[in-house]
Amino acid sequence: MKKVVVSALIALGLGSVGSVAAEQYQPAGFGADTLSYLEAAVAPPVLTDAAPVAAVYCQTDVGTDGLTRNVSCYEREGFRDLRDQVEQAMAGRQFTAAQIDGEPVPVRMVFRVIYADLDGQPPIMLLPNLGHMQGDFGHQYHAPQERLDSRNWYALYRRNDWSEGQPFFSDEGELTRVLAWVNDSGRVTSARSLEGHSEYRRDANAVEKALEASRFIPGLTNGKPEKMRYVAVLHYPR
């Protein structure tokens, strides 16, 4: 009997809504038919006993119309064709827009697509996070979503005439990663560099400052806003 891998146990629960102070938050979501669309549009990977799970990590902008834009995906186990298929399939998809007090707001959303050949587990799942906080909140939590109607860290970083980093993960070139803590009202309380080549120390400093000026839809679990980690990532194509 195959063992269930902890990182792929629980499928996504949609429609979480939370409130803090006078504001009510609803994060962007996948929409009703995205999972079935992926099943039809993407050829499942060939999984083995040695590699029974394939995970694709993605980031997308979700507009007030719910449409995805600037989709970027990454995987680290060699399933590059799967990554490319998922990225293409998720481009221009109809998601559900994030809302604050019932008004739609544009956000930058992260999510995972997990394929598995494991007993008692769905063959494909969507999760609205990259897994940074699953040890604390399980698998169904919504990661913080950066608001694009306000100052956002990447736009602030790109104001520098020397900035060259591209957003999100890539297997090409160096990475800069900066960890931020986003509180339950969507504000960054602290930020510090996790990883960065000495050549890009200036980038890490700029991202730290930009994060502190950014606003988020806070992370939610069971409909409740929670303080959560958020990792800003830059890569530098060779």
pLDDT in tens, 37-53: 999 999 999 999 999 99
Beta strands in 128-205 (DSSP E): 145-147, 166-167, 175-182, 188-196
pLDDT in tens, 3-41: 444 444 333 333 344 443 459 999 999 988 999 999 999
- Average pLDDT over every residue of 140-168: 96
For 153-235, CATH gives 3.30.2420
> Is-contact 6 206, C-beta < 8 A?
no
Position 37: which residue type? Y
* Tokens 């990447």 found at: 154
Break the chain into its structural domains and give their ranges.
6-144, 153-235
Between helix 80-90 and helix 34-41 the angle, nearest 10°, is 130
Pairing mode of beta strands 124-127, 107-116: antiparallel
Mean pLDDT for the chain overall: 90
CA separation for the pair 208, 196 (Å, rounded): 12
CA separation for the pair 59, 73 (Å, rounded): 6
Cα dist from 171 to 73, 74, 175, 198, whole Å: 11, 8, 9, 19
**Coil, helix or strand at residue 188:** strand
- Average pLDDT over every residue of 162-190: 95
CA separation for the pair 94, 34 (Å, rounded): 8
Q: In terms of DSSP H, where are the helices of 57-166? A: 80-90, 134-137, 153-158
At 196, the pLDDT band (50, 70, 90 cuts) reads confident
DSSP conformation class of 32: S
CA separation for the pair 145, 89 (Å, rounded): 21
CA separation for the pair 26, 29 (Å, rounded): 9
At 58, the pLDDT band (50, 70, 90 cuts) reads very high
The pTM for the full model equals 0.88
CA separation for the pair 143, 54 (Å, rounded): 20
In the prediction, which pLDDT does 80 show? 95
CA separation for the pair 81, 160 (Å, rounded): 35
At 233, the pLDDT band (50, 70, 90 cuts) reads very high
Alpha carbon 203 to its chain centroid, in Å, reads: 21
Nearest to 125 by CA among 144, 107, 140: 140
- Average pLDDT over every residue of 100-126: 95
